[in-house]
Amino acid sequence: MADTTASLSIGQVVERTGLSVHTLRFYEREGLFLNAVRRGPGGRRVYSEDDVDWLTVCIILRASGMPLPALRRYTDLVRDGAGNERERLALMREHHARVTAEIGRLTQSLDLIAHKVAVYEDLIDQDPATVRPCHAPAD
């Protein structure tokens, strides 16, 4: 059966994922692709749609703060196939807890910032001429 998988150049993958060429090569060296990156004529890297789909997963997990060793482990588990779903679940639950905690910290920060914005808006609305310099205690 012929391989009907689309072949994408490194430039096309860069354009579709937003990753740099350097990052794609780094991901390859780190073993973060599910399958070995194929080589075309002249030894140039050739990617598939599946590679791009997997990179999208990696990009989202990295953007959410998943450490590289955890992403590498997750990739290994997925690559190994069925039978390790409990390990995958444990890894994702651990990451979920980290992301949830980070969202809590960011929400706390956002609440403080919103409070400060409201304080300064109220001060300026009352009388812009009486607004104290930023270094003076205002609240």
pLDDT, tens digit, 9 for 90 and up, residues 75-125: 999 999 999 999 999 999 999 999 999 999 999 999 999 999 999 999 999
pLDDT category of residue 5 using cuts at 50, 70 and 90: low
State if pTM tops 0.75. Answer: yes
Among positive and negative, which fits the CA dihedral 8, 12, 18, 20?
Answer: positive
72 bridge partner residues: none
> Over 50: is that where the pLDDT of 63 sits?
yes
Count the neighbouring beta carbons within 10 Å of the beta carbon of residue 50: 13
Residue type, 21: V
pLDDT category of residue 130 using cuts at 50, 70 and 90: low
> Over 50: is that where the pLDDT of 133 sits?
yes
Q: Are 19 and 45 in contact (CB under 8 A)?
A: no
8 bridge partner residues: 47
User: What digits encode the pLDDT tens for the residues 17-53?
Assistant: 999 999 999 999 999 999 999 998 889 999 999 999 9
Query: Is 24 exposed, middle or buried (CB count within 10 Å of its CB: 0-12, 13-18, 19+)?
Result: buried
Model pLDDT, residue 127: 76
Model pLDDT, residue 6: 77
Model pLDDT, residue 129: 72
